[in-house]
Amino acid sequence: MSTLIANIGELVTNEPAPGRDGGPLGIVRDAAVLIEHGRVAWVCRAADAPAATAAAPHRTVATGGSAHGAPAVRDGSMNSDATRGTSEVEVVDAGGRAVIPGFVDSHTHLVFGGDRADEFSARMAGRRYEAGGIRSTVAATRAASDDELGARLAGFVGELHAQGTTTFEVKSGYGLSVADEARLVRLAGEVTDEVTFLGAHVVPAEYADAPDAYVDLVVGEMLTACAPHARWVDAFCERGAFTPEQSRRVLEAGAAAGLGIRLHGNQLGEGDGVRLAVELSAASVDHCTYLSAADIAALATSATVATLLPGVEFSTRQPYPDARRLLDAGVTVALASDCNPGSSFTSSMPFCIAVAVRDMGMTPAEAVWASTAGGAAALRRTDVGAIRPGARADLALLDAPSHVHLAYRPGVPLVARVWKEGEVIA
């Protein structure tokens, strides 16, 4: 069975080409997309839909009401029952609305127990965010069974899908013992291929007086237990967590075990995180809230993506990172949720887009690109984050005429339907 999404008012492809607008968004107006075997087969203007598809037997599916007023017209031009032996085509009428690539959320911490609502309330009453809060989630995570953690994780995956996210990374980092980190990467691997080993999240309480001995454990037995289940290694390079030297040890050991490098850096103050990430050719350095001119120059000439996490500054009342400065310098910027119970308990990429546009100097087009193609770049993926022939058929139909509405209508659930590998998941 193939799926033809017809009557798309605005199709964001992230593939600029002659005749398309929206700069890097590569927008096609009055478009149609054909999905076959979980991949995008073709993208074109509706009027140019290949005759072969028009001749195939099909059934038409309407997609429900259209809040912005475009008529939900059924497209009769695809109707024909003349051709026998052609596989059936399901025609989905987008009703003139916008379709974008599924979001690629390249930074989450979704395997954990408990929550930290009290800590959030205290922060909103004036207390500062500190890395040490991670330890309370470590205690709750260690106390939870695999079934409890897995059920919680499945719930978050449902949230992600419902909000248009079709690719997501998940980090460990709330276990911080060999056995607990190993079960977190294993559980993460049940829901995504993008698993990150973050044994170097914070020094656990039992090693408080011997942080280097904890790093020995991370680069030794813990890495050996976790590397087979992970694609990436990460470290939290920050005051209150790990020094640049400790972070370097962890990242180099992870790379030697075959893992790609990503890094939490420059979240709570200026430091050496960005420099280290660029030097080690990390795929991404995440947070980038406090950057020097030298950090920006280093990023601009590197292949390292700067991943910004607006939910963190929202929920910790820190200043937002200056996305405008990074973009103007030519840095590749991604947006991600950083969904975790401490610094950013949102799973919503539309929320991150709205904040990035309102408070970080991004245009709606830049924020949508950063949440799709930017996330794919941060994960070094070429099969997701764009709607082009051969790409994985991951798409989100918006209940809106344009991608701009994701920022223009904050807090409104605009994701109407989501396809992942050609299957409807929400």
In a 10 Å sphere around its CB, with 0-12 CB exposed, 13-18 middle and 19+ buried, how is residue 319 labelled?
Answer: exposed
Q: Does 105 bind Fe ion (CB under 5 A)?
A: no
Cβ–Cβ under 8 Å, residues 38 and 421: yes
Nearest residue to the partner ligand NIG, using Cβ: 342
Answer yes or no: is 405 a known binding residue. Answer: no
CA distances from 362 to 28, 188, 235, 321, 326 (A): 22, 31, 27, 11, 10
Return the DSSP state at 301: T
Cβ–Cβ under 8 Å, residues 305 and 75: no
Q: What pairs with residue 33 in β-bridges? A: 5, 43
CA separation for the pair 416, 15 (Å, rounded): 23
Among 236, 242, 290, 369, binds ligand NIG (CB under 6 A): 236
Letters for 252-281 (x = contact with ligand NIG by CB under 6 A, - = none) are ------------x--x--------------
In whole angstroms, the minimum distance from the beta carbon of 96 to ligand NIG comes to: 39
The nearer residue to Fe ion, 163 or 343, going by C-beta atoms, is 343
In whole angstroms, the minimum distance from the beta carbon of 65 to Fe ion comes to: 38
Q: Does 388 bind ligand NIG (CB under 6 A)?
A: no
Answer yes or no: is 174 a known binding residue. Answer: yes
Q: Does 399 bind ligand NIG (CB under 6 A)?
A: no
Residue 267 binds: one of Fe ion, ligand NIG, none (C-beta under 5 to 8 A by kind): ligand NIG
Q: Does 342 bind ligand NIG (CB under 6 A)?
A: yes
Answer yes or no: is 229 a known binding residue. Answer: no
Residue 343 binds: one of ligand NIG, Fe ion, none (C-beta under 5 to 8 A by kind): ligand NIG
Q: Does 318 bind ligand NIG (CB under 6 A)?
A: no
Among 289, 307, 343, 372, binds ligand NIG (CB under 6 A): 343
Q: Give the N- to C-terminal CA distance of the chain in Å, as an integer.
A: 19
The nearer residue to Fe ion, 15 or 234, going by C-beta atoms, is 234
Q: Does 338 bind Fe ion (CB under 5 A)?
A: yes
Chain residues 250-279 in contact with Fe ion, contact rule CB under 5 A: none
Cβ–Cβ under 8 Å, residues 12 and 403: yes
Among 26, 96, 113, 133, binds ligand NIG (CB under 6 A): 133
Tell me the site size for Fe ion, rule CB under 5 A. Answer: 1
Sign of CA dihedral 121, 406, 367, 362: negative
The nearer residue to ligand NIG, 204 or 341, going by C-beta atoms, is 341
Answer yes or no: is 201 a known binding residue. Answer: yes
Q: In sequence order, which residues have a C-beta less than 8 Å from that of residue 352 and are 6 or more positions away?
A: 309, 310, 311, 335, 336, 337, 346, 367, 371
CA distances from 312 to 210, 315, 345 (A): 29, 5, 8
Element (H, E) at 294: helix 293-300
Letters for 91-120 (x = contact with ligand NIG by CB under 6 A, - = none) are ------------------x-----------
Give which of 240, 292, 205, 256 is closest to 248, Cα–Cα.
256
In a 10 Å sphere around its CB, with 0-12 CB exposed, 13-18 middle and 19+ buried, how is residue 263 labelled?
Answer: buried
- Strand pairing class (98-101; 395-398): antiparallel
Helix, coil or strand: residue 118: helix
Residue 312 binds: one of Fe ion, ligand NIG, none (C-beta under 5 to 8 A by kind): ligand NIG
Matching residue, tokens 């979240």: 267
Residue 342 binds: one of Fe ion, ligand NIG, none (C-beta under 5 to 8 A by kind): ligand NIG
Q: Does 313 bind Fe ion (CB under 5 A)?
A: no
Residue 137 binds: one of ligand NIG, Fe ion, none (C-beta under 5 to 8 A by kind): ligand NIG
Q: Does 11 bind ligand NIG (CB under 6 A)?
A: no
CA separation for the pair 85, 303 (Å, rounded): 48
Contact positions vs ligand NIG (CB under 6 A): 109, 133-134, 137, 236, 264, 267, 312, 338, 340-344
- The binding site for 4-imidazolone-5-propanoate consists of 116, 174, 201, 267, 343
Kindly list the residues in this chain that would bind Fe ion in the complex (CB under 5 A): 338
Q: Which residues are annotated as a binding site for Fe(3+)?
A: 107, 109, 264, 338
Can you say which residues are annotated as belonging to the binding site? 107, 109, 116, 174, 201, 264, 267, 338, 340, 342-343
